[in-house]
Structure 1
Amino acid sequence: MTKTTTRPLAELQADFVRVGALLKQAREDVETLRRLSMAEAQAETLAAELEAIKRQMDRAFADEDKAKEDAFIAGIKDVRITEGDQRDNLIRRTFTVAVTRTGNDGLRDWETTAEKTGLTSLKPEEYAWLLRHPDRIPASILALADDPRTAFQTYFSSKKRGYFRGA
């Protein structure tokens, strides 16, 4: 008679469940390892894609801002500033502002020019128009800073204060 060395069924079932769980975990680890081995290249690809999207968004925001400003200054054809007596210091100097606007009332195109005194009389859209056309800004104002916006800010704050700092 031959003796069999078969393990008890309960023990075999327990080993089957244990080894099955270990195999499942090993397969998950292999998948994680495969995914991690590609992670560096994928991260570089995603970083480049994200940077490209950021540049596109920056352009879209700039385009949107320009379109809003275009609509804001629409109708302004020209802004001319005439400087008063240049012997007066810049704080007391007078400026005459002539704003030419165009439009259409549904029947006809029209154009009007309004004249006012002082740079503080500029409406926001006229100011925005001037920033796009710095050649229309008096040289005495532009000389206050490297860019037109800062030059105007320096002029307005000095006018409010009553004197120019450092002058």
Structure 2
Amino acid sequence: MTTTTTDRRALALTVANLTNDLIQAQDDLALHERLTGARAKVRQLQSDLAQAKTRLDAAQEQERQSARDAAFAVFSDIHVRKEGDDHLLRLAFPVTVTRKQFDGYQTADTTQTFPGIQSLPSDALMYLVEKHPDRIPAEIMALAPGDPYEAINEYLISLRRGYLRGPVAA
């Protein structure tokens, strides 16, 4: 069988076209298979994502708790006294904090007394609110019953503002 140059060109063109068509058909088939399984894949990915988020939240909470515990490890004790028998904003609440402190030679418990809750360092205030909310005076807790964070916040804001708001002020 003899072929001419024209026949070879036509055959080469036919082979090239068929090759391109085959590649496109294979791509279409792969896409079809991917789309056919997409619904199941979405369900699986949603489930996996929810589990991963739960594990991440738990790990982050554990890390926060560990950091909080390490920060509170220096504290031994905290006490709040009430001085006076007047309006809440004129009462004095001296706070005595016992913490471990390095004095240049050793780490020992030292006791500091602060004139009021508003003068506590932030770490001591957080120790009071998180570890010993039962030691917050009842007058302050009455500003937001059951929520020591909000009660302390409202007390400190009221001190700056100069008056109480809400039912306790009545």
TM range (shorter): 0.7 to 0.9
**SS in structure 1 at match of 2:91:** coil
Bigger proportion of residues as helix: 2
User: Where does residue 3 of structure 1 map in the other structure?
Assistant: none
The 1-side partners of 2:133 and 2:49 are apart by 36
Q: Are residues 162 and 104 of structure 1, via their aligned partners in 2, closer, same or farther at CA, if it must alter by over 3 Å? A: closer
CA drift at 1:41 = 1.2
Matches within 5 A, 1:7-156: 8-86=7-85, 88-102=86-100, 110-132=108-130, 133-145=132-144, 146-156=146-156
2:107 and 2:160 mapped to 1: Cα distance? 39
Comparing 33-42 with 109-118, greater Cα deviation is found at 109-118
TM-score normalized by structure 2?
0.83
For 1:141-162, what per-residue CA distance to the aligned partner results, in whole angstroms no more than 9, with x for missing partners? 1111141111111000100111
Q: Which runs of 5+ in 2 are unaligned?
A: 1-5
Query: Residue 4 of structure 1 aligns with which residue?
Result: none
Runs of 4+ in 1 over 4 A off after TM superposition: 103-109
2: CA distance, partners of 1:144 / 1:154: 7
* Identity of matched residues, %: 36
Unpaired runs of at least 5, structure 1: 1-6
Q: CA RMSD in A?
A: 2.2
> CA offsets per residue over residues 85-131 of structure 1, 9 Å max, x none?
23x11100111211122357798763332222211121111111112
**Structure 1 pair 61–109 and aligned structure 2 pair: CA distance change class (3 A):** same
Instruction: From the superposition, tell whether residues 84 and 106 of structure 1 become closer, same or farther in structure 2 (CA, over 3 Å).
Output: closer
Name which of structure 1's ranges 108-117 and 131-140 shifts more when overlaid on structure 2: 108-117
Aligned twin of 2:3: none
- Which region of structure 1 is more displaced relative to structure 2, 117-126 or 65-74? 65-74
CA distance in 1, matches of 2:114, 2:27: 78
Distance 2:163 2:79 in 1: 25
TM-score (norm 1): 0.84
Structure 1, 95-104 or 113-122: larger mean CA deviation: 95-104
